[in-house]
Amino acid sequence: MFVHPYAVRAQALKLVDAGENDCEIARRLRLPRTTVRDWRHRKGLAVSGMTCPRCWRYSHRPIVFSARDYSELLALYLGDGYNLSYEFSNRSAQIRELFMDACDLVGVEYRRYSRYVRIYRRMSVALMQQHVGMKA
């Protein structure tokens, strides 16, 4: 699953409001036509504060992410805790980049591979445990 930036979705919905068809919007924004179609159909369901900021799916409850929630989600991605190392894998290069950006912000050293990121150094593993917690 590929996640598009919120700004791209907002731009697409502006074009929907302007009366453009799905094919034209997809061409202009270089998106799959089916993505534009899905956004158009879900537009009426969205209520401010009631949609997920990542996938824009409707929720009956407000969706609010705290730093602790994000850390828990990140920990679930990281693996099973075998041997003071972490591994993060995702098919999306953009999501891997987000993870590496977060590591850079807190000083975690990592090794980048084609489909995953690994953290081996003792100090970096300690930082991960401090910021993310023990792996699940």
Q: Do 49 and 99 sit in the same domain of this protein? A: no
Asked if residue 136 belongs to a domain, the reply is: no
Cβ pair 87, 68 in contact under 8 A: no
Q: Which amino acid is at 93?
A: A
Cβ pair 117, 126 in contact under 8 A: no
Q: Do 35 and 75 sit in the same domain of this protein? A: no
Q: Which amino acid is at 122?
A: R
CA-to-CA distance for 88 and 78, rounded, in angstroms?
5
pLDDT of residue 2: 59
Confidence category of residue 14, pLDDT binned at 50, 70, 90: very high
pLDDT of residue 101: 92
| The total number of structural domains that make up the chain | 2
Residue with the bigger pLDDT between 129 and 37: it is 37
Residue with the bigger pLDDT between 27 and 40: it is 27
Q: How many CA atoms lie within 13 A of 113 on its CB side?
A: 10
Q: Which amino acid is at 22?
A: D
Q: Do 18 and 45 sit in the same domain of this protein? A: yes
Q: Do 87 and 45 sit in the same domain of this protein? A: no
- For residue 25, the enclosing domain spans 1-63
Q: Which amino acid is at 13?
A: L
Final residue in a domain of this structure, among 63, 97, 113: 63
- Taking only Cα atoms into account, the Rg of the chain, rounded to an integer number of angstroms, comes to 18
Of 15-24, 54-63, 127-136, which range is least confident?
54-63
pLDDT at 23 over 50: yes
CA-to-CA distance for 54 and 29, rounded, in angstroms?
18
Q: Residues of the chain with pLDDT > 90: what percent?
A: 32
Final residue in a domain of this structure, among 13, 35, 63: 63
pLDDT of residue 80: 46
Q: What is the pTM of this model?
A: 0.40
Q: Do 51 and 3 sit in the same domain of this protein? A: yes
Query: Mean pLDDT score of the chain, rounded to an integer?
Result: 79
Q: Do 76 and 126 sit in the same domain of this protein? A: yes
The region, left, alpha or beta by phi > 0 then psi within -120 to 50, assigned to residue 56 is: left
CA-to-CA distance for 57 and 98, rounded, in angstroms?
21
Q: What is the pLDDT of residues 88-125, one digit of tens each?
A: 888 899 999 999 998 998 899 999 998 899 998 888 88
